[in-house]
Amino acid sequence: MNILNSHVLVLNQSFQPMSITNVKKAFLLIYLGKAEIVEKNCEFIRSVNDKFPLPSIVRLTRYIHVPRKQIMLTRKNIIKRDGHQCQYCGKRTIPLTIDHVIPRVRGGKDTWENLVCACIKCNNKKGDRSPEQASMKLMRPPKRPNHIFFIRYSAGTIDHRWKPYLYMN
């Protein structure tokens, strides 16, 4: 990967995680005085006369109010939330299906709290019953993810310096 395309965590002035950008955009923010480096990488970018530390985390110099949009309820986002794993047996088999914890025929809705990933075998075993009726247990209760979860997920591998800012310690 080109070093200028490496990931940089962007924090608001209040140190809240906002997004992930690349080194090129982070340098532009720093150069324009819109951000400052919070954590540096051990590498440098060199010019003819100087060298600049590679940022790992930058903080905006002004507070930006960003209204948090609710994460869209989609099949792809449910699979991301559940870690590409069947929530009944824990297997990571492909393809995964989306299961209603409380089946639609029993009044279950299409909500974050009622949808989970399930392998085909578990989904067929459960059928139109509740997990209790099918003698199946969920690995964890389904819940609505927040934007920080998706920042973590979109980064792929997380730089250890990011963990305190992404509430992972």
pLDDT for 1 beyond 70:
no
5 by DSSP, 3-state: which?
Answer: helix
Question: Are 105 and 141 in a shared domain?
Answer: yes
pLDDT for res 124: 96
Question: Are 74 and 130 in a shared domain?
Answer: yes
Question: Are 78 and 141 in a shared domain?
Answer: yes
pLDDT digits (tens, 9 = 90+) for 4-22: 888 999 999 999 999 999 9
Question: Are 62 and 83 in a shared domain?
Answer: no
What is the C-alpha to C-alpha distance for residues 14 and 22, in angstroms, rounded to an integer?
A: 21
Residue 20 resides in a domain: yes
Mean pLDDT over residues 45-57, rounded? Answer: 90
* Closest among 80, 68, 84, 69 to 12, alpha carbons compared: 68
The total of structural domains in the chain comes to 2
| CA torsion, ordered 20, 97, 83, 67, to nearest 10 deg | 40
Of residues 85 and 152, which shows the higher confidence score?
Answer: 85
Question: Are 77 and 136 in a shared domain?
Answer: yes
pLDDT digits (tens, 9 = 90+) for 66-81: 887 788 999 999 999 9
Residue 10: domain span? 3-67+147-162
Mean pLDDT over residues 126-137, rounded? Answer: 95
Which CATH number characterizes residue 76's domain?
Answer: 1.10.30
